[in-house]
Amino acid sequence: MDVDDKYIEVDPEKLGGTPVFRGTRVPIKNLFDYLEGGDDLETFLGDFPTVEYEQVLGVLELFRVKLLAEYEVAA
């Protein structure tokens, strides 16, 4: 299981293959929608109690690393 698989699950039987937090039915996109809307992590976690704080941090770190790697390659 790589880092992506530790935090993110994509299963055609679960929300039609939408990426979700592993072991939940909560789309990863919801996290970014909350942050974009100005909500903090506590609000997100309160609204989605099946998602763990570690999962949120893992997903954010994963996307940070991928984003920075993409810009390093482009530079």
For range 15-27, the mean pLDDT? 96
Q: Parse the chain into domains and list their residue ranges.
A: 3-74
Dihedral sign, Cα of residue 7, residue 12, residue 32, residue 34:
negative
CATH 1.20.1250.20 for the 3-74 domain, yes or no: no
pLDDT over 80 at 25, yes or no: yes
Q: How confident is the model at residue 27, as a pLDDT?
A: 98
Question: Side chain identity at 33, as an amino acid letter?
Answer: D
Instruction: Using DSSP bridges, classify how beta strands 20-21 and 8-9 pair: parallel, antiparallel or unpaired.
Output: antiparallel
Q: How confident is the model at residue 1, as a pLDDT?
A: 47
pLDDT in tens, 54-71: 999 999 999 999 889 988
Q: What is the pTM of this model?
A: 0.85
> What does each C-alpha distance from 37 to 31, 40, 44, 52, 69 come to in angstroms?
10, 9, 11, 20, 26
